[in-house]
């Protein structure tokens, strides 16, 4: 820049290349930054988020990421619902991996009730199985959507088809593709279907093929690498200071996975690896997710091999509904059913922070109970709330076009971020 | 209660006992059950009630006492020095389960259709203490399901657990022995005594005390589920006794009133007539201001009232009268008498109210106005009576009248040129009025009533005021402002605080804490 | 599991900065005097024994009926030692405010904005304390226990002179 750069208010109009080429050397076209609004109604701002950018040319100077468009008052509703009635709300938190939210919440309440070590083993295995299926669908969705936004349409269709196979299977088990409400305090609501395991093995085989195809299409694809390598770098210190967990945190080099570091359910019995990145850019996040899907499939195969027989719900009428045959034919079970539904499970007063590995990272439930059938406070610690916040740091300095893959790889799920 | 009567006489002896391993001290004469309740130890019971005698028939409250071979009913046994009570040993818990099992043996599977579901003691105790599956497979004893017992009550004999609380209510509270138990064993039935119907004026209390859904009120049955109700404490407006009540409302409509314990006023009971006063809150309400019979906006109506009052006052203040009502709260009365003296400058302030009715020595008082005492105190010694009002209207001394609340005594109306009425219901006064302003009722506002004992008791708003009606003190404030004054009452508490400073007998009264409605569902199932 | 954190706090803070500690269901927690909120959090982050360097969660609990009414709750985690702690500080009903910990963990920024938005707790020295989940014209703090579950909100910014109902007395 020369000493007397023209002020923004003084402009010169230049017509055509010829004129521009003839500009005196010490003259510069004045520039000023421009506010640009991206979203909330924007194809790449999936999950509904608004980014108010200040751009200079194509470069982003500052960004203000505005969320809250999908806020549906989860906490307020939870304060007015019984413990079991909250399960459908948890489905709608991270709606691409709803089983993981169901399980996370159930574990928190079970700890407060001091029955977490009494959950039947089969129920624990089933929770792991459906949880890992949900994790795979979460990563499939993330990669599919992000790839599509980079114009890799084929990848989108391959992964969506794979996701659909998994969701169809979960629909057979729970009755819904997405909003399962499958888990209950004390276990799960219904057993797996008879042909679940053979079907799942078949689907996993086809999923592996789809993921292998996607790997071939993207991982060494010049265009994909150009758009993803070195973009949106998050350092390990960033991850610690901003509370980034899950694939975003692990890609930055922070080797923290709740399943390994603080095992819950029966995760400590399975053999699986946790991929950790080194650079912390978009490509690392993509690679970590891809590999995590393969590791989830490993867990699924081991879980299916060792799935024990047994009950799927704790046999305690203070916590779990008695069998319908008893409810309709004896007054005792009728009363138990009645009290559980109308008053809710009586959870002793106390508070707990319980955490599991959600699709995006450490999914925490901070629950405060006042001794009645509904929570005093039921807070979700959403992993992608922290993950999305870091965009305020990493987007400035990137081009507008880089926002798309960066945002995609952060995998902000609106339902979880805004609740 | 037997225990307390003994302690009232004689020296106040203290007794040291041990409950569940911890030492406690209690006044002599207290029963073990009451002692446990005082220290927060939960012991289930069905037949015991703090306001009735204790027959120990249900055996649900059995506890162990060291040195005694069999478990002892704690509702009946007074504490004795050096007693060691155990309420949580495996034997006591097992005995509780056994008693519940017996009680549930013949109990019909009626929960989905039973009115008591959600506030049923049997459900509560089973869930808290027993949670085991049923062991019996045989058929249950069948009895009559819908027995019309009397004016207000329907009986389901199968649900009855034979606790006899209702019989004791009729004998001890209403002093009319209408109910008896017939037959024995598992065929035992509740029925009316020969030649009687259950029609004493306190019959609906039996529905409150019934631990299950055997006795149900004809008025309330099948109308609303208990867990959908929101409970708000208040005071009954039926008579000057001022029984403490709870208003149970759902979806902004009051469904029933039940008594709230107050040892000094109504103990645990209220009369049937008082219970049904809630119906009036939803009948024939005046919902919008009327000017010359046509609906108008508040601002316009108040401006018109201000104009009329100012005109009447300036023309001749001695022909302007203000009628206060003993049915309205202290706050409304205070605001209006302040309006009357400061702005209307009239000394013709009358006190009207509902006519006298029947009374008894139990709870019902002849004065059917809830706030006569309050009105007299606030109005002061110069307040004139309803008879004076009738006289003055007849001889034509009054040309303009501002009426707060309902009043039969406001007639004949021929000589009046201006009639401004603040009413909650439609009626002849509203039809005849130049301006009628809708008044919020006792269940819709915060305020206080002063009962016949001089106690200032607090009302809490349970539902929103109907239509556009507003509380009386608020209307007085807006009227004063329309007439050029600078009144700044923002809520009823401010009016109360000012009244307490200025009116002598209210000086000890307390506004109390704010109480918003509590949903019965999460009130931990009171039985 | 994280008893060592509570022990270290008891060693370091002896002048009443920590009012209460406890352990329940495997969670360790410490109640901090709000005036020392930032100081205690910074110590826990920097001390080599506790090393609670990772920010996990910050929220607020409305304990209506208790004085002080609000509790601000901070969850911290140590990546190296793998232990956690919960810090609580009681804030009064009138003007609840506490120091911001954004200077210690940048991730606390949005969490504090959310606590402000939903509870009305102010975080002093927060660089940008404004609503995050609610829109700017929203009135009130919705997660407070006395905020009704159903109601109406103004949708547009009110301009002077716009009256659509009669003013309250």
Q: Are residues B207 and B300 in the same domain?
A: no
The values of phi and psi at residue B313, to 5°, are -65, -45
CATH number at residue B112: 3.30.70.20
Nearest CB neighbour to A374, from listed B122, B130, B522: B522
What is the three-state SS of chain A? CCCCCCCCCCCCCCCHHHHHHCCCCCCCCCCCCEEEEECCCCCCCCCCCEEEEEEECCEEEEEEEECCCCCCCHHHHHCCCCCHHHHHHHHCCCCCCHHHHHHHHHHHHHHHHCCCCCCCHHHHHHHHHHHHHHHHHHHHHHHHHHHHHCCCHHHHHHHHHHHHHHHHHHHHHHCCCCCCCCEECCEECCCCCCCHHHHHHHHHHHHHHHHHHHHHHHCCCHHHHHHHCCCCCCCHHHHHHHCCCHHHHHHCCCCCCHHHHCCCCCHHHCCCCCCCCCCCCHHHHHHHHHHHHHHHHHHHHHHHHHCCCCCCECCCCCCCCCCHHHHHHCHHHHHHHHHHHHCCCCCCCEEEEEEEEECCEEEEEEEEECCCCCEEEEEEECHHHHHHHCHHHHCCCCEHHHHHHHHHHHCCCHHHHHC
At how many degrees (to 10) do helices B330-342 and B492-502 cross? 70
Q: Is residue A65 part of a domain?
A: no
Nearest Cα of chain B lies from the Cα of A344 at a distance, in angstroms, of 9
**Residue C158: its pLDDT value, please?**
59
- Cβ–Cβ gap B107/A329 under 8 Å: no
Across the interface, do A366 and C59 touch by the CB < 8 Å criterion?
yes
Q: Is residue A330 part of a domain?
A: yes
**Nearest CA to CA, how far is B133 from chain A (Å)?**
6
What residue in C sits closest to A386 (Cα-Cα)?
C107
List residues bridging with B17 in a β-sheet.
B24
For C134-167, write each residue's pLDDT tens digit: 988 888 899 998 888 888 887 766 566 554 443 3
Which residues, other chains included, contact A34 with Cβ-Cβ below 8 Å and sequence gap of 6+? Answer: A54, A55, A56
Contact: B133, A374; criterion CB under 8 Å: no
Pick the residue from chain A with its C-alpha nearest to C55: A243
Low-confidence ranges of chain B (pLDDT < 70): 1-11, 407-409, 504-508, 522-527
B227 and A342 in contact by Cβ < 8 A?
yes
What CATH number has the domain bearing residue C92?
A: 3.30.460.80
Domain CATH code at residue B304? 3.40.50.740
HSE value, Cβ hemisphere, 13 Å, CA-based, for A375: 29
User: Considering CB atoms only, which of B297, B474, B516 is closest to C166?
Assistant: B297
- List phi, psi (to 5°) of A142: -60, -50
C141 vs chain B: nearest CA distance in angstroms? 18
In a domain, B11, yes or no: yes
Domain contains A233: yes
* Cβ contact, residue pair A334, B521, below 8 Å: no
For B59, the domain range is: 2-104
Q: Are residues B379 and B469 in the same domain?
A: yes
Residue C47 has pLDDT above 50, yes or no: yes
Looking at CA atoms only, how far is residue A146 from chain B in angstroms?
Answer: 46
Mean pLDDT score across all residues of chain C = 87
Question: Is C169's CB within 8 Å of B478's CB?
Answer: yes
Query: CA B108, CA A335: separation in Å to the nearest integer?
Result: 11
CA–CA separation, B494 vs B479, rounded Å? 17
d(CA B290, CA A315): 64
Q: Is B18 on the interface with A (CB under 8 A)?
A: no
**Any domain includes B447:** yes
**Are B133 and A318 inside 8 Å of each other by CB?**
no
Q: Which residues of A touch C69 (CB under 8 A)?
A: none
Decide if A317 and B133 are in contact by the 8 Å CB cutoff.
yes
Same domain, B345 and B427: yes
Q: Is B40 on the interface with A (CB under 8 A)?
A: no
Residues of A in contact with C143 (CB under 8 A): 75-76
A317, A335, A372 member nearest B522 (Cβ): A372
Q: Cα(B34)–Cα(B14) distance, rounded to whole angstroms?
A: 15
Q: Looking at the domain assignment, is residue B275 inside a domain? A: no
For B474, the closest of C146, C166, C169 (CB atoms) is: C169
Do both B149 and B184 map to the same domain?
A: yes
A44 within domain boundaries: no
Same domain, B315 and B174: no
Residue C146: its chain B contacts at CB < 8 A? 516
Per-residue pLDDT at A24 exceeds 60: yes
Contacts of B516 in chain C (CB under 8 A): 146
Q: Which pLDDT score is estimated for B3? A: 43
pLDDT > 90? residue A303: yes
Query: Could you tell me if residue A81 is inside a domain?
Result: yes
Q: What local confidence, expressed as pLDDT, does residue C159 receive?
A: 63
The pLDDT of residue B175 is 93
**Chain A residues with at least one Cβ partner in B under 8 Å:** 316-318, 322, 326, 328-336, 338-339, 342-344, 371-374
CA of C25, closest CA in chain B: separation in Å?
23
Cβ–Cβ below 8 Å for B477 and C146: no
In a domain, residue B230? The reply is: no
Q: Is B104 on the interface with A (CB under 8 A)?
A: yes
- Asked whether residue B356 falls in the same domain as residue B478, the answer is yes
- Residue C132 belongs to a domain: no
B with C: how many residue pairs have Cβ under 8 Å apart? 10
CATH code for position B49: 3.10.20.740
Kindly state whether residue A38 falls inside one of the protein's structural domains: no
In the block, which residue shows the tokens 């980014």? A51
Domain count, chain A: 1
Class of residue B251 by CB neighbours under 10 A (exposed 0-12, middle 13-18, buried 19+)? exposed
Alpha-carbon span B492 to B490, nearest angstrom: 7
* Residue C72 placed within a domain: yes
Look up tokens 């309709």; give the residue.
Answer: A328
Q: Number of A:B CB contacts under 8 A? A: 68
CA distance C116 to C96: 10
* Cβ <8 Å between A353 and C75: yes
For chain A, say whether B139 makes contact (Cβ under 8 Å): no
Contact yes or no for A318 and B227 at CB 8 A: no
CB contact (8 A) between residue C169 and residue B298: no
Residue A213 has pLDDT above 70, yes or no: yes
C159 contact partners, CB below 8 Å, separation of at least 6: none
C67 assigned to some structural domain: yes
Nearest residue to C149 (alpha-carbon basis) of C158, C140, C157? C140
Return the residue in C31, C45, C52, C54 with the most chain A beta carbons within 10 A, the one to mutate for interface testing. C54
Count of helices and strands (H, E) across chain B: 14, 23
State whether A111 and C59 contact (CB < 8 Å).
no
Q: Give the structural domain span for A120.
A: 74-418
Q: Tell me what ipTM this predicted complex has.
A: 0.90
Does the beta-carbon distance from C25 to A76 stay under 8 Å?
no
Could you tell me which chain C residue has the CA closest to the CA of B482?
C169
Distance CA B204, CA C20 (A): 50
Domain count, chain C: 1
Do the domain assignments include residue B155?
A: yes
Confidence category of residue A267, pLDDT binned at 50, 70, 90: very high
DSSP state letter for B126: I
Name the pairing type of β-strands B294-295 and B290-291.
antiparallel
Q: Which residues of C touch A81 (CB under 8 A)?
A: none
In a domain, A306, yes or no: yes
Whether B85 and B164 map to the same domain: the answer is no
CB within 8 Å: C146 and B478: no
Candidate from C27, C107, C114 with C-beta closest to A243: C107
pLDDT at B524: 52
pLDDT over 50 (residue A307): yes
CB atoms A241 and C59 under 8 Å: no
- CA B11 distance to own-chain centroid: 36
> pTM score, two decimals?
0.84
| pLDDT at B370 (0 to 100) | 92
Read off the pLDDT of residues B141-188 as tens digits, 9 standing for 90 and up. 999 999 999 899 999 999 999 999 999 999 999 999 999 999 998 899
- Please name the member of A352, A376, A393 whose beta carbon is closest to the beta carbon of C27: A352
Tell whether B81 and B113 lie within a shared domain: no
Share above pLDDT 70 across residues of chain A, in percent, rounded to a whole number: 93
CATH code for the domain of A307: 1.10.645.10
Answer yes or no: do C56 and A362 touch at CB < 8 A.
yes
Closest CA to B274 of B446, B449, B430: B449
CB contact under 8 A, A335 and B524: no
Chains with at least 3 CB pairs less than 8 angstroms from chain A: B, C
Of B298, B474, B490, the CB nearest to C166: B298
pLDDT at C17: 84
Number of domains composing chain B: 3
Subunits in contact with chain B (3 or more CB pairs closer than 8 Å): A, C
Per the domain annotation, does B408 fall within a domain? yes
Low-confidence winner among A1-5, A21-25, B126-130 (lowest mean pLDDT): A1-5
B346 and B425 in a common domain = yes
pLDDT in tens, A236-254: 999 999 999 999 999 999 9
A162 within a domain of the structure (yes/no): yes
Q: What subunits make at least 3 CB pairs under 8 angstroms with C?
A: A, B
The answer to the question of residue B272 being in a domain is no
Query: How far apart (Å, rounded) are the C-alpha atoms in residues B522 and A27?
Result: 75
Q: Which pLDDT score is estimated for A20?
A: 65
Kindly tell me the sign of the dihedral angle through the C-alpha atoms of B1, B2, B7, B13.
negative
- The reply to whether B367 and B479 lie within a common domain is yes
Tell me if residue B169 falls in helix, strand or coil: helix
Q: Name every residue in C having a CB less than 8 A away from some CB of A.
A: 24-27, 53-57, 59, 61-63, 73, 75, 79, 82, 84, 86, 105-107, 109-111, 114, 118, 131-135, 142-143, 145, 149
Q: In the prediction, which pLDDT does B443 show?
A: 93
* Domain of residue C88, residue span: 3-124
Yes or no: say if B211 and B163 are a contact pair by the CB < 8 Å rule: yes
| Residues B343 and B484 both lie in one domain | yes
Q: How many CB pairs under 8 A join A and C?
A: 94
**B6 inside domain:** yes
Does B192 share its domain with B299? no
Q: What is the pLDDT of residues C78-126, one digit of tens each?
A: 999 999 999 999 999 888 999 999 999 999 999 999 999 999 999 999 9
Query: Taking CB atoms and an 8 Å cutoff, what residues of chain A touch B137?
Result: none
Alpha-carbon distance B238 to B64, whole Å? 46
């Amino acid at each position: 820049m020369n000493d007397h750069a023209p002020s923004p208010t003084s402009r010169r109009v230049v017509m055509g290349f010829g004129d521009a080429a003839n500009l005196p050397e010490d003259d510069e076209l004045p520039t000023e930054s421009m506010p640009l609004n991206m979203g909330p109604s924007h194809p790449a701002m999936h999950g509904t988020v608004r980014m108010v950018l200040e751009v200079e040319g194509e470069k982003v100077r500052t960004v203000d990421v505005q969320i809250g468009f999908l806020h549906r008052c989860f906490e307020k509703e939870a304060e007015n619902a019984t413990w079991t009635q909250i399960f459908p709300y948890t489905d709608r938190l991270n709606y691409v991996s709803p089983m993981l939210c169901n399980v996370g919440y159930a574990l928190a309440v079970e700890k407060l009730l001091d029955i977490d070590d009494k959950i039947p083993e089969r129920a624990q295995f089933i929770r792991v199985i459906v949880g890992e299926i949900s994790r795979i669908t979460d990563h499939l969705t993330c990669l599919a959507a992000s790839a599509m936004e980079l114009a890799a349409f084929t990848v989108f269709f391959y992964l969506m088809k794979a996701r659909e196979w998994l969701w169809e299977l979960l629909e057979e088990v729970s009755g819904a593709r997405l909003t399962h409400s499958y888990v209950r305090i004390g276990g799960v609501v219904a057993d797996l279907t008879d042909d679940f395991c053979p079907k799942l093995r078949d689907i996993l085989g086809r999923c592996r093929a789809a993921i292998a195809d996607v790997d071939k299409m993207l991982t060494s694809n010049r265009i994909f690498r150009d758009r993803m390598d070195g973009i949106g770098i998050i350092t390990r210190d960033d991850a610690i200071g901003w509370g980034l967990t899950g694939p975003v945190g692990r890609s930055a080099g922070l080797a923290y996975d709740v399943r390994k570091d603080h095992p819950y359910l029966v995760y400590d019995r399975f053999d699986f690896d946790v991929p950790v990145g080194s650079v912390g850019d978009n490509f690392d996040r993509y690679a970590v997710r891809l590999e995590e899907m393969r590791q989830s499939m490993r867990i699924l195969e081991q879980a299916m091999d060792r799935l024990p027989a047994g009950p799927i719900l704790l046999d305690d009428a203070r916590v779990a509904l008695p069998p319908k045959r008893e409810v309709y034919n004896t007054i005792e079970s009728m009363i138990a059913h009645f009290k559980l539904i109308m008053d809710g499970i009586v959870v002793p007063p106390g508070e707990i922070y319980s955490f599991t590995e959600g699709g995006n990272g450490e999914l925490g439930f901070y629950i405060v109970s006042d001794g009645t059938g509904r929570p005093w406070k039921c807070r979700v610690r959403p992993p992608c709330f922290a993950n999305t916040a870091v965009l305020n740091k990493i987007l400035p300095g990137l081009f507008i076009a880089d926002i798309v893959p960066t945002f995609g790889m952060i995998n902000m799920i609106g339902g979880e971020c805004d609740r | 209660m037997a225990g307390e009567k003994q302690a009232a006489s004689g020296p106040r002896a203290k007794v040291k006992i041990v409950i569940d391993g911890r030492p406690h001290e209690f006044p002599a004469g207290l029963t073990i059950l009451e002692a446990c309740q005082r220290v927060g130890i939960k012991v289930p019971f069905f037949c015991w009630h703090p306001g009735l005698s204790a027959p120990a028939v249900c055996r649900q409250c059995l506890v162990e006492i060291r040195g005694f071979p069999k478990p002892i009913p704690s509702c009946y046994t007074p504490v004795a020095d050096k007693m060691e009570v155990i309420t949580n040993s495996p034997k006591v818990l097992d005995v509780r389960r056994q008693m519940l099992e017996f009680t549930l043996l013949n109990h019909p599977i009626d929960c989905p259709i039973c009115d008591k579901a959600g506030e049923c003691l049997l459900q509560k105790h089973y869930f808290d203490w027993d949670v085991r599956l049923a062991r019996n497979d045989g058929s249950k004893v069948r009895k009559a399901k819908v027995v019309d017992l009397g004016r207000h009550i329907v009986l389901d004999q199968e649900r009855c657990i034979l606790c006899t609380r209702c019989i004791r209510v009729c004998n001890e509270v209403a002093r009319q022995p209408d109910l008896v138990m017939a037959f024995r064993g598992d065929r035992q039935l509740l029925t009316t005594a020969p030649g009687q119907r259950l029609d004493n004026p306190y019959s609906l209390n039996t529905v409150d005390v019934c631990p299950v859904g055997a006795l149900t009120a004809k008025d309330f049955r099948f109308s609303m589920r208990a867990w959908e109700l929101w409970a708000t404490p208040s005071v009954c407006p039926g008579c000057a006794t001022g029984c403490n009540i709870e208003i149970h409302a759902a979806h902004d409509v009051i469904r029933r009133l039940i008594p709230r314990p107050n040892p000094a006023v109504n103990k645990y009971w209220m009369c049937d007539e008082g219970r049904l006063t809630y119906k009036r809150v939803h009948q024939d309400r005046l919902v919008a201001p009327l000017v010359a019979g046509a609906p108008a906006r508040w601002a316009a109506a108040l401006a018109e009232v201000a104009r009329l009052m100012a005109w009447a006052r300036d023309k001749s203040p001695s022909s302007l009268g203000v009628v206060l009502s003993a049915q309205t709260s202290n706050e409304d009365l205070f605001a209006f008498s302040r309006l009357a003296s400061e702005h209307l400058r009239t000394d013709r302030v009358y006190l009207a109210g509902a006519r006298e009715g029947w009374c008894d020595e139990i709870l019902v008082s002849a004065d059917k106005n809830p706030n006569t005492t309050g009105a007299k105190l606030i109005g002061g010694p110069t307040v004139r009576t309803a008879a004076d009002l009738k006289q003055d209207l007849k001889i034509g001394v009054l040309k303009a009248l501002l009426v707060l609340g309902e009043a039969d005594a406001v007639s004949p109306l021929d000589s009046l040129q201006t009639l401004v009425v603040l009413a909650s219901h439609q009626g002849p006064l509203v039809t005849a009025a130049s301006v009628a302003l809708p008044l919020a009722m006792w269940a819709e506002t915060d305020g206080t009533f002063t009962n016949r004992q001089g106690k200032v008791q607090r009302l809490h708003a349970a539902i929103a005021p109907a239509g556009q009606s507003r509380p009386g003190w608020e209307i007085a404030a807006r009227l004063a402002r329309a007439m050029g004054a600078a009144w700044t009452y923002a809520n009823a508490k401010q009016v109360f605080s000012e009244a307490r400073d200025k009116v002598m007998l209210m000086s000890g009264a307390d506004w109390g804490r704010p109480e918003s409605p509590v949903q019965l569902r999460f009130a931990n199932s009171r039985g | 599991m994280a008893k060592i954190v509570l022990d270290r706090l008891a060693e370091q803070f002896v002048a009443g900065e920590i009012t209460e500690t406890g352990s329940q269901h495997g969670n360790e927690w410490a109640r901090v005097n709000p005036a020392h909120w930032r100081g205690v959090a910074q110590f826990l982050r920097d001390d080599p024994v506790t090393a609670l360097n990772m920010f996990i969660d910050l929220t607020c609990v409305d304990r209506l009926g208790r004085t002080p009414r609000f509790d601000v709750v901070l969850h911290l985690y140590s990546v190296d030692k793998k232990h956690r702690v919960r810090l609580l500080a009681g804030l009064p009903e009138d003007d609840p405010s506490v120091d911001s910990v954004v200077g210690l963990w940048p991730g606390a920024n949005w969490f504090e904005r959310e606590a402000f938005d939903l509870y009305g707790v102010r975080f002093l020295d927060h660089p940008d304390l404004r609503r995050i989940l609610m829109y700017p014209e929203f009135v009130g703090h919705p997660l407070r226990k006395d905020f009704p579950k159903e109601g109406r909100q103004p949708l547009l910014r009110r301009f002077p002179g716009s009256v659509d109902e009669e003013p309250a007395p």
